[in-house]
Amino acid sequence: MLERLRNPWPDHRAERTLGAVSCLVCALVVAMVVFVGIHAWPIFEHNGLSWLGSGGDLGRQLADMQNTTQHPPPSAYHLRAWPVVYGTLLTTGVAVVLALALSVFSSIFIVELAPARLRRIAIPVIRLLASVPSVIYGLIGILVLVPFVGNHVISGAEKESVQNVVLLTGAGLSVTVVILTVMITPIMVALICEALVSVPSSWREGAIALGVNPLRAMLAVTLRAARPAIVAALVLATARALGEAIMISMVSGSRAFSPKPVDGLVFFFEPLRTLASGIVDYHEGIGAPALGSALYAWALLLLFSAFVLSIAGYLIKLPLRKFQVRG
């Protein structure tokens, strides 16, 4: 009796319970795909995959969707969401490229160049940057950067040049990309630093002994050895940037507008909307079946890209085991 109390679980039952708990997580992932997929289905049913293409005014299409009844006619499901897809690709792409350059060089700085005292400050500081909530980034963006860009960076002539098409307030591509870069760089720095440290230092010392200067040895030997980790960090940062919703909805100007590079400098100040921020912007209308289905279709697209990135991350991590890098 006492033995039973002290050891309430026989081993095999414990194993089965813990295994069931683990399987619950898998079930949740499957349920997520299924539920989002079911809700997104009407859009795919009526548009096929062409809802990813361009055509018509997206804002008007979504407004029409919102105004339909509980049982909308098939025509209400018409959707061409290219502006938001383009906005997502544009912001994510630019931010990731900027963050890659910034994070690689600042990791080299932290691991190799920084004096010990600065290094001791830099690491917690970067970790803090990674954990600042996105709403605080958004708040700083909308209350500080957007008015600054709107009042001082954009000239009146630039505002007038496009005033018939779109209103330039300062909220737009440039502010979004800058904040997004600041948000994803720390994640990449953390992972790249870890990888740079775990590359055997004798490799680099060998290069230095051959007369290569220390920085070039770092770039040519250590960085090259850590390449898989850099790509893994890139994948992770891309996933984070794709899914950022609140911050982008606050500072992007929230208009389903595709910034056009042919506009010259104005391009950088044009407003946009991404998949994730669009879901936040329209979440009030999710009760309307057509609009709800459109939002779930966007979510499904995000989920799909997250899965693809996750698989890519797994494949990239395989050769990483060589350096005992856990990531």
Partner 1 sequence: MSTLAPWTPPAAPGPPMKSGRGKQSSPLSWRWGDRLALGFAWFAGIGLCVIAAAIVGYMGFRGIQYLRPDLLFERPALSTTQSGSGGFLDPLIGTALLTVIGVLLAVPLAIGGALWIAEYGRPTWLARVVESSIEMVAGTPDIVIALFGLSIFQLGIFAPFSFKASGGGVFGKSFIAAGAMMSLIALPPLFTATRDGLQAVPMHMREAAFALGKTRIATIRRVLLPSVRSNIATGVTLGISRIIGDTAIIVLLLGETLRLDPQGSVPGVGLLRGTGSTLTSYVYGNSPAGEGAAPQKAYAAAFVLLLFVLALNLIVDRIGRSSADATGMTVAGGIV
Interacting positions 161-190 with partner 1 (CB under 8 A): 182, 185-187, 189-190
Q: Which of 296, 312, 242 is CA-nearest to residue 33?
A: 296
Residues 41-100 that bind partner 1 (CB under 8 A): none
Task: Give the footprint of partner 1 on residues 108-137 (CB under 8 A).
Answer: 108-114, 118, 120-137
Count of C-beta atoms within a 10 Å radius of residue 178: 17
HSE of 200 in the Cβ direction (CA atoms, 13 Å)?
Answer: 6
Q: Rounded to an integer, what is the distance from CA 295 to the centroid of its chain?
A: 18
Q: How far is the CB of 117 from partner 1 (least distance, A)?
A: 12
Closer to partner 1 at the Cβ: 9 or 56?
9
Bridge partners (DSSP) listed for residue 272 = 253
- For position 324 contacting partner 1 by CB under 8 A, the verdict is no
Tell me whether residue 52 or residue 130 sits nearer to partner 1 (CB atom): 130
Considering the complex, state which of residue 42 and residue 313 has its C-beta at the smaller distance from partner 1.
313
Tokens standing for residue 165: 């098409």
CB nearer to partner 1: pick between 59 and 287: 287
Which residues ranging from 32 to 51 are in contact with partner 1 (CB under 8 A)? Answer: 32, 35-36, 38-39
197 touches partner 1 by CB under 8 A: yes
Name the minimum Å distance from CB 157 to partner 1: 26
From 124, 95, 85, 246, select the one nearest 184 (Cα to Cα). 95
Considering only 239, 256, 290, 291, the residue that binds partner 1 (CB under 8 A) is 239
Contact present, 269 and 158 (Cβ < 8 Å):
yes
Instruction: Choose between 76 and 223: whose C-beta lies nearer to partner 1.
Output: 223
Interface residue with partner 1, options 65, 191, 207, 288 (CB under 8 A)? 191
Nearer Cβ to partner 1 (44/267): 44
> Shortest Cβ distance from residue 289 to partner 1 (Å)?
11
Gyration radius of the chain's alpha carbons: 24
Which one of the spans 44-52, 74-82, 153-161, 232-240 is the region binding partner 1 (CB under 8 A)? 232-240
Judged by CB under 8 A, the stretch of 45-53, 60-68, 263-271, 304-312 that binds partner 1 is: 304-312
- Output the six-digit token pair for 156: 């009146």
Q: Give the end-to-end CA distance of the chain in Å, rounded to a whole number.
A: 46
Which CB sits closer to partner 1, 1 or 262?
A: 1
Rounded to 10 degrees, the C-alpha dihedral 81/83/88/94 comes to: 160
| Residues 198-217 contacting partner 1, CB under 8 A | 213-216
Position 242 contacts partner 1 (CB under 8 A): yes
With b for 16 or more beta-carbon neighbours within 10 A and e for fewer, the 70-95 pattern comes to: eebeeebbbbbbbbbbbbbebbbebb
Residue 99: Cβ-neighbour burial (10 angstroms; 0-12, 13-18, 19+): buried
State the Cα–Cα distance between residues 81 and 84, nearest whole angstrom.
6
Q: Considering beta carbons, is residue 14 or 265 the nearer one to partner 1?
A: 14
- How far apart are alpha carbons 164 and 169 in whole angstroms? 14
